[in-house]
Structure 1
Amino acid sequence: MSATSDAYRIEPVTPAVKDYLRLRQQAGLSPFSEEAATRGLAGSIFGVSLMQGAEIVGMGRIIGDGGCFYQVTDIAVLPEHQGRGLGKRIMSALADYMQAHLPATAYVSLIADVPANRLYQQFGFVETAPRSLGMAMKIGAPESL
């Protein structure tokens, strides 16, 4: 029996470390250590958990300095729940929070994997190239980005 999108709910809570690490791994996102996840999650500005019953099956977070700069990160839905518009529901919850709580001059960025960039465009995100390009660095293994 397949679940419908009505079987899901968004809760305004950042996932626990173990759920966060599991969601990242199962959704195909890059891994982090438990120590890094513990530190990072504690610094969240806002997070949501996508729930199906008592199970967390997706997430999204906003991180930043609390005033000028913010980043949308960790948008993840478990593969068996994808294709149901759930990523859009996560982004909608984050966008609602940003509109209600961030300063009007806030700069919000994200790194979009293709084809997820089409989802983010629906929420007002635009590519910054050629004026600017996203860049990244991974401490300890820069060649593995």
Structure 2
Amino acid sequence: MSDSTAPTLRMEVPGIDEYRAMRLATGLSDKTVEAAGIGLAASWSAVCVRDQGQLIGMGRVVGDGGCFFLVVDIAVSPDWQGKGIGKRIMAALMDDLRARAPTSSIVGLFADREAWRLYAQFGFTLSAPASQGMMLRL
């Protein structure tokens, strides 16, 4: 793959339909159109990776903008996994956090399966036993 055909990464929020499709294609839970529209509009930071205009990877940061942030929606199309796209997404989000978030901020995430290995490369550590992650799905 030459540089002229390499996927492009941009700081942008994905569209609702492509966001929902990417979540399903990568095994993440579905979100309603209503939930996706509200959530995407509230993104603190977002990254899209595209190949010839087609969304092949995405990631977002949500939070209060000062004290707490959560990395969410890190997803790479199955055909593009294992090619460093996830690492590019995380690097862009972390660069944005380091540039704009206050230094006392806490950044968290939930790692599915073995994804914690990617996040560890960016300084994230497993919080147990000091704390336990908890969640509730509505």
Q: State the alpha-carbon separation in 1 of the partners of residues 125 and 97 from structure 2.
A: 16
* 1:27 aligned onto 2:26: yes
* 1:10 aligned onto 2:9: yes
Who is 2:109 aligned against?
A: 110
* 1:129 aligned onto 2:128: yes
Q: State the alpha-carbon separation in 2 of the partners of residues 12 and 90 from structure 1.
A: 10
Runs of 4+ in 1 over 3 A off after TM superposition: 3-6
How much has 1:114 moved relative to structure 2?
Answer: 2.1
Who is 1:55 aligned against?
A: 54
Between the aligned residues of both structures, percent identity stands at 45
Who is 1:142 aligned against?
A: none
Q: Is the 8 Å Cα contact of residues 4 and 84 (structure 1) preserved in structure 2? A: no
Q: State the alpha-carbon separation in 1 of the partners of residues 105 and 16 from structure 2.
A: 28
* 1:97 aligned onto 2:118: no
How much has 1:7 moved relative to structure 2?
Answer: 1.3
- What secondary structure does 1:119 align onto? helix
Q: Is the 8 Å Cα contact of residues 50 and 56 (structure 1) preserved in structure 2? A: yes
Who is 1:143 aligned against?
A: none
TM-score, normalised by the number of residues in structure 2:
0.96
TM-score, normalised by the number of residues in structure 1:
0.91
Q: State the alpha-carbon separation in 2 of the partners of residues 124 and 9 from structure 1.
A: 25
Q: Is the 8 Å Cα contact of residues 70 and 108 (structure 1) preserved in structure 2? A: yes
Unpaired runs of 5+ in structure 1? 140-145
Pick closer, same or farther for the CA change 1:4–1:132 going to 2, 3 Å. Answer: farther
State the Cα RMSD in Å. Answer: 1.3
Which letter maps to 2:21?
A: R
How much has 1:54 moved relative to structure 2?
Answer: 1.0
How much has 1:4 moved relative to structure 2?
Answer: 6.9
Unpaired runs of 5+ in structure 2? none
Pick closer, same or farther for the CA change 1:56–1:65 going to 2, 3 Å. Answer: same
